[in-house]
Amino acid sequence: MLRMMVAGFCGALLFPLMANAQDGASGVAGNELPAEAAPLEEGRQRIGYGRLFTNDFLADGRDRWRTGSIGSSRIWGYGWDGTAPSAFGDLLELRLHGQIIAPSKLSNPDASDRPWAGSLSAGLHSHVQRGDLEFALGAGLVMTGPQTRLDDFQDWLHDLVSAPRPSDAVLDAQIPDSIRPILVAEAGRSFELGDAVALRPFAEVRAGDEALLRVGADLTIGSVGQGELRVRDEVTGQRYRAVTGDADGLSFTLGGDIAYVADSIYLPEDRGYELTSHRDRIRAGLHWQHQDTTLFYGVTYLGKEFSAQGEGQVTGSLRLRILF
């Protein structure tokens, strides 16, 4: 029964990735919703959908550390007028996320390199705006270890594309099975700096799989994405569009943040890992929209996360939607 539940959860999580491929072939997927969208309750409907695929192959071409992830968000509410509602619970987001973390060498890693880890998470978040302040508050569960079947998935995928496969020794030493609650809260405020230019400082706290406090800011230049609901990807910090508008054009985004991390199940202290004193991220991205076609590509520099990590890494993030 547990294997069936895990397989179903993996399927639900990997569906957005398959939908990315279908965007170009069938035009199915994206943020546009049919008129008959099923309500959660009377008056509440699904008003948005977003997703983001991230992999270091899309940037520095390496297969290491925060090597791959995919996140998706389904949004339900009573409508959207450019800002979140003031009442907690009126605008709900179901957020699904999966990621694979790996040592820099899958077959024969250095003994001091980080352990292989796979995680799947699901959470319910509420987006609220009170005055000028924007809040996103959420809770969920994260599952780690062989029970996620992500080790089998990476082994199958790398075999398919003739890439190095994780050795038995690497997978035997992976982060073990666990299921634990997670809490995430973000607060931010947008400042209009000019025509279609906005700066948004933010602060975030997370507890569960990692205990951290993060502060940073994001700058958006351009009309695409303004007045929309954007959700922050947990690995890169890129904000992907979940409730969208119809403005054609380009938007450039630039952001960065710094975090203090007190604890991480992916770098267990009892195995001798020492967390860095801070964790840095610097990112840039480009949103493009023309009629029924939207594209996002972003690059993110991820700083070192543990003392034995020799350098940071650069990952790429992609989202493509084509409707016919």
Task: Give per-residue pLDDT as tens, 6-49.
Answer: 334 344 334 333 334 333 333 333 344 433 344 445 688 999 99
Task: Give per-residue pLDDT as tens, 177-228.
Answer: 999 999 999 999 999 998 899 999 999 999 999 999 999 999 999 999 989 9
What domain range includes position 76? Answer: 2-322
- Enter the pTM of the model: 0.85
**What's the token pair of residue 258?**
């710094």
> At 240, which CATH number?
2.40.128.140
**Nearest CA to 58 among 281, 298, 239, 246?**
298
Instruction: Spell out the residues 6+ positions from residue 292 whose beta carbon is closer than 8 angstroms to its own.
Output: 27, 32, 322, 323, 324
How many domains does the structure of the chain reveal? 1
Residue with tokens 């933010």: 202
Q: Residues 218, 260: contact at Cβ < 8 Å?
A: no
